[in-house]
Amino acid sequence: MFSYLRERFTRHLRERSRRRARLVSKDGRCNIEFGNVEQSRFVFLIDIWTTILDLKWRYKMTIFISAFLGSWFLFGLLWYVVAYIHKDLPEFNPSINHTPCVENINGLTSAFLFSLETQVTIGYGFRCVTEQCATAIFLLIFQSILGVIINSFMCGAILAKISRSKNRAKTITFSRNAVISKRGGKLCLLIRVANLRKSLLIGSHIYGKLLKTTITPEGETIILDQVNIEFVVDAGNENLFFISPLTIYHIIDKNSPFFHMAAETLLQQDFELVVFLDGTVEATSATCQVRTSYIPEEVLWGYRFAPIVSKTKEGKYRVDFQNFSKTVAVETPHCALCLYNEKEAKAKEKKGYDNPGFVLSEVNETSDTKM
């Protein structure tokens, strides 16, 4: 009992360490941080538009509210200063013939309300600028122009955040596991991907990167070395008709990094397979990228995916997502090299070899027998 619990605990720690070392999470987020960056953080303010778009919603809404409230309050103070300098406030006891710069500003609160009405163009008509002083007219023009700029920038940032193709990528899902089995007489690594919307992704392209630690002949250790992994479907990996779930596969041949792996040694490998799907959203024409990753524990050797598409009596095609990540055990060679050698041996058996130097000599048999 104690040895069993110790084995479970050791396996759990090993899985946790692998999850911590993962570069790309299952939902596509990158687990990486930058340290000791020499450039100042003010460089992010140069590209303020991208910085605002990359912010989380709570920070974006804080900036959105602060921008409007701050500008209203700042110009409210300026309107109060104008009224104070022109002695329009009640504490100065203006005469009956006195014409104020702004009608009906009696204090800081009314100045804030006038600033709010001016910037958002409400125009209740109770407070208004007169032609008495040029300062008030200039301040009105300046606030109107700045208010349009703030409205355009902040509302555009909110709209761009909502309509980002990153949200469209959330409706593209990959199978929890990748499987390795025979397909078309070849050993392949298969992954299932589905589009949860009926709108298509135009010009879709699928490819992969195998991340692993390698040591060069010169002795240099390269962490996160990237190896290209080609994924195809039966019609190729370009311009996919992505209306129903697709099973993409990578052929494990001599050029594949999986060629020298076996079912017994797969879990001992240290790699991360990152799969990318690029496409253009049909509704908005914006490009998006979906990505996920698989570690050795998530690659099942000797399995295939269960059927997912069926045809109803009414003639419609039905996709059962209950079987989307379901796998079925199948007979599979325990390594790609074994399958390759087996095919090579069978091919040699079928071949015949002619020997031009071989001469058939006939032997005459006699029926006489000497006693």
The per-residue pLDDT for range 146-186, each reduced to its tens digit, is 999 999 999 898 888 887 766 677 788 899 999 999 888 88
Q: Which CATH superfamily is domain 168-349 in?
A: G protein-activated inward rectifier potassium channel 1 (2.60.40.1400)
Q: What is the per-residue pLDDT for 371?
A: 42
Q: Supply 255's token pair.
A: 């050029």
Cα 88–chain centre separation: 59
Q: Are 289 and 224 in contact (CB under 8 A)?
A: no
Give CATH 1.10.287.70 domain extents, the chain.
48-163
Section 277-300 average pLDDT: 86
Mean pLDDT of the chain: 81
Examine the pLDDT at 235 and tell me if it is beyond 70.
no
Distances (CA, A) of 288 to 29, 30, 138, 168, 262: 14, 16, 46, 7, 35
Section 29-46 average pLDDT: 71
What lies within 8 Å, CB to CB, of 290 at 6+ separation is 28, 169, 172, 174, 276, 277
Nearest to 179 by CA among 15, 337, 363, 330: 330
> Does pTM top 0.75 for this prediction?
no
Q: What stretch of H or E contains 61?
A: helix 57-85
What lies within 8 Å, CB to CB, of 192 at 6+ separation is 174, 175, 245, 246, 247, 248, 305, 308, 324, 325
Q: What is the per-residue pLDDT for 111?
A: 93
Q: What is the per-residue pLDDT for 82?
A: 92
Examine the pLDDT at 139 and tell me if it is beyond 90.
yes
Q: What is the per-residue pLDDT for 110?
A: 92
Examine the pLDDT at 79 and tell me if it is beyond 90.
yes
Examine the pLDDT at 55 and tell me if it is beyond 80.
yes
Q: Hey, is 262 helix, strand or coil? A: strand
C-alpha gyration radius of the chain: 36
Nearest to 24 by CA among 190, 209, 167: 209
Q: What is the per-residue pLDDT for 68?
A: 93
Number of residues written out for the chain: 371
3.40.50.300, 1.10.287.70, 3.30.300.180, 3.20.20.20: CATH of 48-163 = 1.10.287.70
Percent of the chain scoring above 70 in pLDDT:
81
Q: What is the per-residue pLDDT for 7?
A: 66
Distance, in Å, from the CA atom of 151 to the CA atom of 144, rounded to the nearest integer, reads: 11
Conformational region of residue 317, where left means phi above 0, alpha means psi within -120 to 50, and beta covers everything else: beta
Nearest to 303 by CA among 271, 278, 281, 325: 325
Distance, in Å, from the CA atom of 72 to the CA atom of 77, rounded to the nearest integer, reads: 9
Give CATH 2.60.40.1400 domain extents, the chain.
168-349
Cα 114–chain centre separation: 46
Q: What is the per-residue pLDDT for 338?
A: 78
CA angle 266, 272, 277 (to 5 degrees): 125
Percent of the chain scoring above 90 in pLDDT:
25
Conformational region of residue 48, where left means phi above 0, alpha means psi within -120 to 50, and beta covers everything else: alpha
